[in-house]
């Protein structure tokens, strides 16, 4: 068997946004691939009809779409007015070209044609029966009238941006979001597009932002979640659920956040609305329960206790894009949820939750039409493929999945793929679940180095899915071990480590390592290495300050100092205070005691730090502080910084940067192995 190569991920195809047509006769999805020559990702729309897959677009920038009717798709794009594939790079900046163009293409083929041009950035459009659209568009503070499309407003906006291009004026917190940069205070509003007059009408109020927006089944009402725009934006606690009459634009608040009711989302069933809301028992990470609201009476009642995460939180580095994670059909809600180490499809019917699938791996996105389900999933230790699912009727939910696509089959046909072997360790009152990947050509009589990998979050999980970098290390002759310590997702209250960072989670990880060494005598305890990103980076920084049993470590996009994290991260205010159960003014010693920087003077382990300049989730100063501390105390250390990258470097960074990162980590470990 051939080993997995460091650049094999560049050959993979990534699937997203699987969507059925209005009448269910076809479906479409986005396929993304890597363009090595231009060091970028290219996305195309594919259609599926009776299992036959067809490439519909060829420009390479069709990352999203929606059905306009049974035979027509529309998608946003950056093409010239005539719809050709020439890309005008001179206008590729937010302030020079804030308008959004949507193109129309027939499923029977042909060139895409320009269909609609909106004068503001648009994230979603919803067709109405009369040919108009509901539009979710950006509102620019101080230039709220841009939506009117008047050239004088656009000219004033461009002049302002040109005159202030060397400055950032910040008036709210958070002032930036990872992967975007400074927000400039922009927020999303709801507009109506008049297709005849080709004009927008602003329907929501000034300084009110919206998130989820859905049109009712009868097309007469619009339901949406809103929140106030003010200097201090909170992650939770200020949401309202609203209904707007499409004809008149009249809006009514039907539910609001409270101390024990934090609205996370909703779905529109035929006879009632299903609201996802948490009781905040475990702070910001509290998972939602399901509530039921009658459309007429507006009374909200508990429908089903759940308390597990919605969507897949199974880590992987072979994804690009998203898709639907919940949808109501009739009065049944279908949703993806992570339980233990896998993400499967479930349904909520008559107040009872039951599985639709129970397969190891991860369903990443799905869509359903009547009793037909299509899903994009990480199954069978392969990168993403498209699967068809049958709704079980008392049958075996583990055997109702059929693979449709084979985009990635040939890429890994003759390669060594290490199967994750479960390894659990008993703790006091609970188990820590994990996995072991055996090295290529494994011989139990030999000794092999070990890489311990720690996931981010911490409210995510590692599961039995294909993870390129781990498979690469196994092909390089390493054991790779990874687990889900306290703080991980998929087990209800198990994820709650508020105020305990670096304590019970660290003990869980070390216990798992000890169990792995005991179970596999071929693991070389004198050649132990460790890495992790985000929370895993925090834990790496913590580990090197509490043990010197590893020969070398690699800390990626990490947290090192909760004090400075509070002031500069896009989630710093809410996340720090919530997770650490303290802040710089209330019990500051508790905050400092959970900071790896407090123990940096005890580090002896050679450590590589990986950070990105545009990482606004765990900003680069966190790496600077640890690097400086280690160098100051005579410890071998190195920091590799990436320009133009953010917190998602390892998952969606430029291909050359992803290769550089993985080569740096692997080279660091290789160079520190004992002879």
Per-residue model confidence (pLDDT) at position 397: 64
What stretches of 27-178 show up as alpha helix (H) in DSSP?
A: 151-163
- Pick from 537, 524, 535, 529: nearest CA to 553: 529
DSSP helix/strand/coil, 639: strand
Question: How far apart (Å, rounded) are the C-alpha atoms in residues 355 and 334?
Answer: 10
Residue 594 has pLDDT above 70, yes or no: yes
pLDDT over 90 for what percent of the chain? 90
Written in H, E and C, the secondary structure of 107-150 is CCCCCCEEEEEECCCEEEEEECCCCCEEEEEEECCCCHHHHHCC
pLDDT tens digit sequence for 552-590: 999 999 999 999 999 899 997 899 999 999 999 999 999
pLDDT tens digit sequence for 150-178: 999 999 999 999 999 999 999 988 889 99
pLDDT tier at 234, thresholds 50, 70, 90: confident
Question: How far apart (Å, rounded) are the C-alpha atoms in residues 626 and 360?
Answer: 38
Question: How far apart (Å, rounded) are the C-alpha atoms in residues 78 and 425?
Answer: 52
Backbone angles phi, psi at 421, to 5 degrees: -95, 120
Question: How far apart (Å, rounded) are the C-alpha atoms in residues 573 and 565?
Answer: 8
Q: How far is CA 42 from CA 5, 45, 58, 59, 324, in A?
A: 22, 10, 9, 8, 21
Residue 629 has pLDDT above 80, yes or no: yes
What stretches of 520-610 show up as alpha helix (H) in DSSP?
A: 535-544, 562-568, 572-580, 588-593
Per-residue model confidence (pLDDT) at position 236: 75
**Residue 3, token pair as written in the block:** 């080993």
**Residue 654, token pair as written in the block:** 């430029």
In DSSP terms, 403 is beta-bridged to 387
DSSP assignment of 260-302, as one string?
TBEEEEEEE-SSEEEEEEE--TTGGGPPPEEEEEETTT--EEE
The radius of gyration of the chain from alpha carbons, rounded to an integer in Å, stands at: 25
**Residue 536, token pair as written in the block:** 């895993």
Strand 552-556 and strand 479-484: pairing? unpaired
What is the mean predicted confidence (pLDDT) over 207-227?
Answer: 96
Q: Which residue has the higher pLDDT, 181 or 141?
A: 141
Which residue shows structure tokens 């005159």?
Answer: 163
CB contact set of 329 (below 8 Å; sequence gap of 6+): 368, 369, 370
Residue 83 has pLDDT above 60, yes or no: no
Question: How far apart (Å, rounded) are the C-alpha atoms in residues 552 and 567?
Answer: 30
Q: Average per-residue pLDDT in the chain? A: 94
pLDDT tier at 86, thresholds 50, 70, 90: very low
Residue 283 has pLDDT above 90, yes or no: yes
349-363, 390-404, 430-444, 596-610: lowest mean pLDDT where? 390-404
Residue 592 has pLDDT above 90, yes or no: yes
81-85, 335-339, 404-408, 633-637: lowest mean pLDDT where? 81-85
Residue 546 has pLDDT above 70, yes or no: yes
Question: How far apart (Å, rounded) are the C-alpha atoms in residues 51 and 540?
Answer: 45
**Residue 547 CB neighbours (<10 A):** 17
Q: What is the pTM of this model?
A: 0.95
pLDDT tens digit sequence for 397-433: 656 899 999 999 889 999 999 999 999 999 999 999 9
**Residue 90, token pair as written in the block:** 């001179």
pLDDT tens digit sequence for 91-110: 334 445 799 999 999 998 78
What per-residue string of b and e applies to 422-439 under the rule 16 or more CB within 10 Å gives b?
ebebeeeeeebbbbbbbb
């Amino acid at each position: 068997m051939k080993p997995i190569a460091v650049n094999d991920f560049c050959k993979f195809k990534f699937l997203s946004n699987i969507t059925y047509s209005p009448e269910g006769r076809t479906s479409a999805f986005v396929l993304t691939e890597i363009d090595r020559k231009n060091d970028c990702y290219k996305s195309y729309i594919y259609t599926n009809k009776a299992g036959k897959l067809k490439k519909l677009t060829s420009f390479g920038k069709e990352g999203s779409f929606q059905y306009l009717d049974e035979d027509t798709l529309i998608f946003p794009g950056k093409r010239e007015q005539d719809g050709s594939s020439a890309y005008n790079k001179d206008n590729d900046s937010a302030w020079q070209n804030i308008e959004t163009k949507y193109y129309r293409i027939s499923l029977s083929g042909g060139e895409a044609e320009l269909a609609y041009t909106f004068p503001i950035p648009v994230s979603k459009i919803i067709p109405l029966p009369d040919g108009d659209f509901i539009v979710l568009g950006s509102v620019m503070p101080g230039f709220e009238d841009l939506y009117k499309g008047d050239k004088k407003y656009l000219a004033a906006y461009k002049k302002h941006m040109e005159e202030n291009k060397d400055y950032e004026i910040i008036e709210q917190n958070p002032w930036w979001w990872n992967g975007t940069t400074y927000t400039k205070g922009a927020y999303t509003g709801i507009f109506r597009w008049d297709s005849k007059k080709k004009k927008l009408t602003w329907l929501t109020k000034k300084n009110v932002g919206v998130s989820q927006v859905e049109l009712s089944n009868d097309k007469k009402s619009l339901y949406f979640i809103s929140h106030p725009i003010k200097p201090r934006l909170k992650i939770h606690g200020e949401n309202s659920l609203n209904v707007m009459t499409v004809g008149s634009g009249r809006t009514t608040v039907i539910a609001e956040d409270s101390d024990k009711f934090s609205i996370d989302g909703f779905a529109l069933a035929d006879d009632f609305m299903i609201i996802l809301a948490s009781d905040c028992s475990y702070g910001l990470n509290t998972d939602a329960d399901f509530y039921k609201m009658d459309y007429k009476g507006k009374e909200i009642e508990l429908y089903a206790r759940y308390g597990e995460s919605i969507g897949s939180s199974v880590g992987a580095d072979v994804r690009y894009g998203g898709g639907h994670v919940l949808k109501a059909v009739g009065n049944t809600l279908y949703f993806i949820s992570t339980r233990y180490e896998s993400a499967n499809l479930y349904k909520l019917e008559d107040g009872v939750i039951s599985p639709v699938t129970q397969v190891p791996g991860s369903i990443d996105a799905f869509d359903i039409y009547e009793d037909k389900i299509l899903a994009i999933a990480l199954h069978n230790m392969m990168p993403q493929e498209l699967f068809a699912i049958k709704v079980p009727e008392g049958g075996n939910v583990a055997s109702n999945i059929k693979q449709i696509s084979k985009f990635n089959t040939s890429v890994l046909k003759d390669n060594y793929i290490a199967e994750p072997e479960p390894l659990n360790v008993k703790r006091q009152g609970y188990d820590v679940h994990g996995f072991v990947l055996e090295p290529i050509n494994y011989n139990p009589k030999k000794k092999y180095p070990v890489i311990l990998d720690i996931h981010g979050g911490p409210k995510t999980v590692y599961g039995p899915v294909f993870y390129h970098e781990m498979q690469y290390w196994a092909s390089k002759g390493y054991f790779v071990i990874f687990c889900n310590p306290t703080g991980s997702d998929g087990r209800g209250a198990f994820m709650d480590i508020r105020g305990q960072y670096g304590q019970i989670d660290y003990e869980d990880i070390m216990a798992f390592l000890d169990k792995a060494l005991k179970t596999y005598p071929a693991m070389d305890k004198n050649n132990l290495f460790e890495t992790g990103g985000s929370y895993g980076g925090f834990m790496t920084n913590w580990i090197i300050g509490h043990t010197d049993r590893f020969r070398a470590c690699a800390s990626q996009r990490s947290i090192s100092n909760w004090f400075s994290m509070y002031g500069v991260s896009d989630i710093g205010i809410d996340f720090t205070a919530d997770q650490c159960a303290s802040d710089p003014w209330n019990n500051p010693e508790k905050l400092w005691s959970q900071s790896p920087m407090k123990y940096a003077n005890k580090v002896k382990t050679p450590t590589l730090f990986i950070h990105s300049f545009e990482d606004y989730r765990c900003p680069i100063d966190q790496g600077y502080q640890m690097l400086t501390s280690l160098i100051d105390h005579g410890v071998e250390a190195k920091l590799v910084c990436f320009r133009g990258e953010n917190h998602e470097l390892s998952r969606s960074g430029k291909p050359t940067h992803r290769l550089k990162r993985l080569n740096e980590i692997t080279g660091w470990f290789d160079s520190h192995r004992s002879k």
